Structure 1
Amino acid sequence: MDKDRKEIDFARRLADPNKTKRDRALKKLNEWLAFQSSKPPGFDEMDMMRVWKGLFYSMWMSDKPSVQEQLANQLANLIYTFHDSEQSFQFIKTFFLTMQREWTGIDRLRIDKFYMLMSIFLRESFCFLKKHEWDQGLCDSFATFLADGPLNVKAQFVSLGISLHVADKFLGELLSVADSKLTFDLFNVLLQPIYVLAANCQSAALLDNICDCIFKPLLELSEDVPLQIDFSLIAENLFTVAADTLTRAKNRRALYALREMFLTQITPDDVVVIESPAKKRRHNSDVPGSGDSATVDDDISVNYRRSKRLQASSSSPLPSPQMKLNFDSISVDGRKKKSSKTPVLKKKRIIRFSGKHYKAYEPIGKKKFVVSTLSPGKSLLKNKDPGPLSPLEKRRRRIRARLNAKLD
């Protein structure tokens, strides 16, 4: 009971508007966590959640960018305060649980510093795994938690913003702390929640983020990174996930396209596009190396083997730059993105009888009209059906009929 009271007291002091009092409370909290974690039974999940409640509002009260970054590093370094790895891992889990619980209450003026806090905390989480020499059990536990927590798109309590940010920073933060002890097998274990997320996510933006920030950069890793990537194993994992019956159809196309890139070990700039507006067989003399006729689809083909056959049979070294693949206009599943232009409206004048006047409606945009009142003598109103009366006009006519009946 005394421990519960102490945690609540720390939470209140960490949320104090005065920065000096907050710094003093954080320093005492660091010492108290180290002392309390050394005594059995240590901290459970509820104790950690109470502590993180105060730490969250301590970050909430920070104003200047330099102060926010310093505080974020201090909060992330609290991972190493505990005496055993189990409580440190529990501290990491409760941080992400707290962010999921409080995310919807963060306004747009404070969202950037919490993005920064998540990035720093994700990097320190990988540093924690590195400190324990990438222990197999810890890596499995961390991957399982990511799959069930911040990267679980099926859970209603997980916000899309958290999943987007974690997927965006995952590979960069992991490679920034990677060393020679991180084998590809352990790296593949940490990638397992990413495979599941790519198969089940319903957001096109999240799927694009996974492909552009995780899988495609793996094809372009520099030699300075102490990690040997097994492209065939990643391609096999992508095929296994894509072939699952529970995988969404749009995600399956994207995963198959990524698998093709890993099998051939190519970069996105080496893919050649064959594009045509019609779906028919015709003579395609402008494509280097094509025969008398070629089958041309509406969709953009990103088949690497076809591009290689075209280059091999062509006398010219490479197709023209206009035929290079522009990844800004192509979605991750290899299909051309739809145009964002608004459709042209057919301008049709509508004339209606409002009960007293005829009104003309001129469309000028989507659900936008210019209304003008027409006099009964205009030629536009000749042979026009006034249409049904409005409820207000019907009521007026009933009242007028009753008054006329009483006068008579």
Structure 2
Amino acid sequence: METNSKLEERFARSLASNDTRTRSRTLKRLTQWVVARSSIEDGFTELEFLKLWKGLYTCMWHSDKPLVQEELVDSLAGLLVMMRRPDAALQYLRTFFTTIAREWHSIDRLRLDKFYLLLRKMLGQSFKLLQNSQWDEEVVQEFISIIKDGPLNHDLGKTTLGVQLHVLEVYVSELLMCSPVEGGVDLLNPPLALLANTRDTTVSGCIVRSVLDVLDTSTLDQLQLTPEAVSDALRAMAINRDTLGRNRKLLYTHCKRFSSDECPPPDSGCGLPQPKRFKRKSKGKIKIKKKIKKKMKKKL
């Protein structure tokens, strides 16, 4: 009987085949095997999923026809909600983001659209997974950790700009597909935390445009949020000592939009220790003091 390691390697080789039929048959067998094994506690290790994703990525790379691509994307993303244990599904999601970040720069422009579609579907099915878990707090917090450590990490050494921007663009729209949403404020934490820490103005502009600007009354109702809750979340990010200064001003600006109360002005520091300010002496006073010192030395 084959060991799990050898079986995964065989799956990966078959998925990388140039023959469409071979890839299709392998994908069906792989789906059945993964779903069955996901019922076992600690059924998969991170390394095992990384090996599988290497083969799945290559399979996605080889699929050229639009209908074939869409069917494959639905199959890969659908595994998230087919798995019998949320911890296995979340491990599958984490290793997906690791793989896509590693391979992103090797994707040519002709293949970008199908990988953008894969990113969107994986994110959408992730929210579906949370919904199926009845918005279980432990599952939600693990998902948030995966997103903050992966695609919405402010350190671009752990993700890529292309992945980050696309996830931000579809984040709220995919979340709304699972409305009504419980724990909406927590699920907004990854993009808001990125807004507090990013050094890239393109990223901060994307967060404002794709996340904050779409939070109108209807959207807030679907997310079961109040404007004050969003304002409080923005204020919490703004007063964090690790928040970049220029981003703090941006957070306060949008804090005012959602708050019925007056937020502290951007330059107030909101409780942060303020640096001492020294008055700059005029050049005239400095010259007079120098002359007095010279006269004192001559007298001595």
Distance 1:161 1:198 in 2: 16
Task: Indicate yes or no: 2:233 matched with 1:232.
Answer: no
Tell me whether 96-105 or 77-86 shows the greater mean CA deviation.
77-86
Distance 1:37 1:122 in 2: 20
Task: Give the corresponding residue for 2:51.
Answer: 50
Identify, as 1 or 2, the structure richer in helix.
2
User: What's the offset of the Cα at 1:229?
Assistant: 2.3
Task: Give the corresponding residue for 2:172.
Answer: 171
Task: Give the corresponding residue for 2:246.
Answer: 250
Task: Indicate yes or no: 2:193 matched with 1:192.
Answer: no
Distance 1:159 1:115 in 2: 13
SS of residue matched to 1:232 = helix
Distance 1:4 1:263 in 2: 54
Query: Which of 214, 219, 222 is the equivalent residue of 1:217?
Result: 214
User: What's the offset of the Cα at 1:40?
Assistant: 5.8
Distance 1:89 1:114 in 2: 20
Deviation string 1:132-175 (CA, Å, 9 cap, x unpaired) is 11111111111122111111122513111111111111100001
Task: Give the corresponding residue for 1:2.
Answer: 3
Q: Which runs of 5+ in 2 are unaligned?
A: 262-300
Deviation string 1:218-259 (CA, Å, 9 cap, x unpaired) is 125369x53332111211221221233322232122211111
Between the two structures, name the one with larger relative contact order (CA 8 Å, sep ≥ 6).
2
* Percent identity over paired residues: 35
Map 1:5-404; keep pairs closer than 5 Å: 5-39=6-40, 41-179=42-180, 182-183=181-182, 186-221=183-218, 226-264=222-260
Contact (CA 8 Å) 1:153, 1:160: kept in 2 or not? no
Show structure 1 runs of 4+ deviating over 6 A: none
SS of residue matched to 2:152 = coil
Tell me whether 167-176 or 154-163 shows the greater mean CA deviation.
154-163
Deviation string 1:287-327 (CA, Å, 9 cap, x unpaired) is xxxxxxxxxxxxxxxxxxxxxxxxxxxxxxxxxxxxxxxxx
Tell me whether 230-239 or 70-79 shows the greater mean CA deviation.
230-239
The alignment's C-alpha RMSD in Å is 1.9
Distance 2:158 2:253 in 1: 31
Identify, as 1 or 2, the structure richer in strand.
1
Normalising by structure 1, we get a TM-score of 0.61
Amino acid at match of 2:230: I
Task: Give the corresponding residue for 1:305.
Answer: none
Tell me whether 57-66 or 39-48 shows the greater mean CA deviation.
39-48
User: What's the offset of the Cα at 1:115?
Assistant: 0.6
Measured at CA, do residues 41 and 227 of structure 1 come closer, stay the same or move farther in structure 2, by a change above 3 Å?
A: closer
Deviation string 1:183-215 (CA, Å, 9 cap, x unpaired) is 3xx111111112210011111111111011111
Contact (CA 8 Å) 2:97, 2:150: kept in 1 or not? yes
Amino acid at match of 1:246: D
Distance 1:73 1:237 in 2: 34
Deviation string 1:118-138 (CA, Å, 9 cap, x unpaired) is 001100000011111111111
Distance 1:91 1:22 in 2: 20
Q: Which runs of 5+ in 1 are unaligned?
A: 266-408
Distance 1:233 1:38 in 2: 38
Contact (CA 8 Å) 1:167, 1:214: kept in 2 or not? yes
User: What's the offset of the Cα at 1:27?
Assistant: 0.5
Tell me whether 77-86 or 62-71 shows the greater mean CA deviation.
77-86
Distance 2:169 2:57 in 1: 22
Normalising by structure 2, we get a TM-score of 0.82
Contact (CA 8 Å) 1:33, 1:81: kept in 2 or not? no
Measured at CA, do residues 13 and 211 of structure 1 come closer, stay the same or move farther in structure 2, by a change above 3 Å?
A: same
Measured at CA, do residues 41 and 141 of structure 1 come closer, stay the same or move farther in structure 2, by a change above 3 Å?
A: closer
Contact (CA 8 Å) 2:81, 2:128: kept in 1 or not? no
User: What's the offset of the Cα at 1:178?
Assistant: 1.4
Distance 2:199 2:26 in 1: 43
Distance 2:61 2:113 in 1: 11
Distance 1:117 1:168 in 2: 14
Amino acid at match of 2:65: K
Amino acid at match of 1:176: M
